[in-house]
Amino acid sequence: MLDKIKDTTKEKIRNFLIKDYYFEEVLVLKEVVEAMIDLANEAYPNEYTTFLKGRIKDKTLTFYEMVYQPYHASRTSTRIRIDLPLTSGVLGSVHSHPGFSNRPSMADTRFFSKQGMVHFIICRPYAVQSIACYDKNGRRIDWDLKIDNSTD
């Protein structure tokens, strides 16, 4: 009986939080995009994964910081240890593909559905133009670079 109460409470919390995550635009600060590109180049030929801290204001989700977690990487995948506090502000992730495709694999889409609201994949040649953005269901969505690096 106690397990059912705990599960119900978790579901109510999860539903409440999802209602608060409404946005119509996705922006990423220039310094975060630069870090995505730098990390992809450093990790090559392996993948890398990290989380993204964001804030929603006026229907705009702005990612302003990377949040690192320990992970194991290879040329075909990453396994990340997730140990984030509930108040971490993490609303998305980014990971690299060492090839020329920034489309999500089946493993990517499973990860997307479990962690965060927005996910980025960067592929070679590791530039702004090779970054794709997806929602938690694996559907591609538009995003823009925020040049001024302010979180407002």
pLDDT tens digit sequence for 71-82: 677 677 666 666
Whether 62 shows a pLDDT value over 90: the answer reads yes
% residues pLDDT > 70 (the chain): 75
**Mean pLDDT calculated for residue range 84-96:** 82
- CA atoms within 13 Å, Cβ hemisphere of 67: 19
User: Taking all residues of the chain, what is their mean pLDDT, rounded to a whole number?
Assistant: 82
With a threshold of 0.85, does the pTM exceed it? no
User: pLDDT grade, residue 37 (50/70/90)?
Assistant: very high
Of residues 80 and 59, more confidently modeled? 59
Which domains are seen in the chain, by residue range?
23-146 (3.40.140.10)
